């Protein structure tokens, strides 16, 4: 019996094995391109453009940096790359992840480790950094829910926790064209990598 194909050809020409990803098959341009075209909230957002995972990643890194003044650039880079595996596996909403179970988590962990190693980060982040990124991710989810996904503030508070007013200040979400977000993601990645 023929084995099913478990690799994805990237625009860079790389062939990424989803079951055994290696850092050598990871390119930031592929990540930025893929994430710029993956819609958050299953595309159920307001605006003329879908709100992409790349745009979300930039926002999470901004919030993470705001919450952790003086944090090392490598951890800012980790925040920017927190959803990097979604460039090949897509953005599944939490209920779908729960329905799939542990297999989704294992695939995500393997891809995350390869991405981290490619850019000089530890395969597994320190627990405190992971928790801090998750806290920023929740604030981003709250802002997205209220500003572009049609949730009331009360509903978002219940699902994501009510963020401090200081963390909400200035978080204006305006979905942008994929090419614009792709360019911004690559530029931020390069700046953080150069600062590491």
Q: What is the C-alpha to C-alpha distance for residues 185 and 181, in angstroms, rounded to an integer?
A: 6
For residue 110, how many other CB atoms are within 10 A of its CB?
17
Contact 54, 33 (CB under 8 A): no
Q: Would you kindly state where each structural domain of the chain is located, as residue ranges? A: 25-195
pLDDT of residue 22: 94
Backbone angles phi, psi at 70, to 5 degrees: 80, 5
| Confidence grade of residue 164 (pLDDT, cut at 50, 70, 90) | confident
Q: What is the C-alpha to C-alpha distance for residues 109 and 143, in angstroms, rounded to an integer?
A: 26
| Confidence grade of residue 74 (pLDDT, cut at 50, 70, 90) | very high
Contact 71, 196 (CB under 8 A): no
Helices (H), the chain: 28-36, 53-67, 73-80, 86-89, 94-100, 102-118, 127-147, 153-160, 165-168, 178-195
Contact 30, 10 (CB under 8 A): yes
Q: Does position 69 have pLDDT exceeding 90, yes or no?
A: yes
pTM of the model: 0.93
Lowest pLDDT segment from 63-72, 103-112, 148-157? 103-112
What six digits make up the tokens of 34? 């893929």
- % of the chain with per-residue pLDDT over 70: 98
Domain over 25-195 is classified CATH 1.10.3210.10: yes
Q: What is the C-alpha to C-alpha distance for residues 120 and 22, in angstroms, rounded to an integer?
A: 13
pLDDT of residue 104: 80
């Amino acid at each position: 019996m023929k084995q099913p194909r478990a690799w994805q050809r990237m625009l860079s020409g790389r062939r990424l094995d989803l079951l055994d990803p290696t850092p050598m098959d990871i390119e930031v341009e592929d990540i930025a391109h893929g994430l710029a075209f993956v819609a958050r909230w299953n595309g159920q957002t307001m605006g003329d453009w879908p709100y992409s995972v790349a745009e979300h990643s930039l926002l999470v890194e901004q919030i993470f940096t705001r919450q952790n003044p003086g944090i090392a650039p490598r951890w800012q880079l980790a925040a920017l790359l927190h959803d990097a595996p979604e460039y090949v596996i897509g953005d599944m909403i939490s209920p779908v992840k729960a329905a799939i179970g542990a297999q989704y988590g294992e695939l995500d962990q393997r891809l995350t480790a390869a991405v981290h190693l490619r850019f000089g980060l530890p395969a597994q982040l320190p627990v405190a950094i992971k928790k801090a990124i998750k806290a920023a991710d929740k604030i981003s989810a709250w802002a997205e829910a209220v500003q572009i996904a049609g949730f009331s503030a009360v509903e978002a508070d219940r699902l994501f926790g009510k963020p401090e007013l200081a963390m909400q200040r200035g978080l204006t979400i305006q979905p942008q064209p994929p090419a614009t977000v792709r360019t911004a993601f690559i530029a931020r990645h390069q700046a953080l990598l150069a600062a590491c």
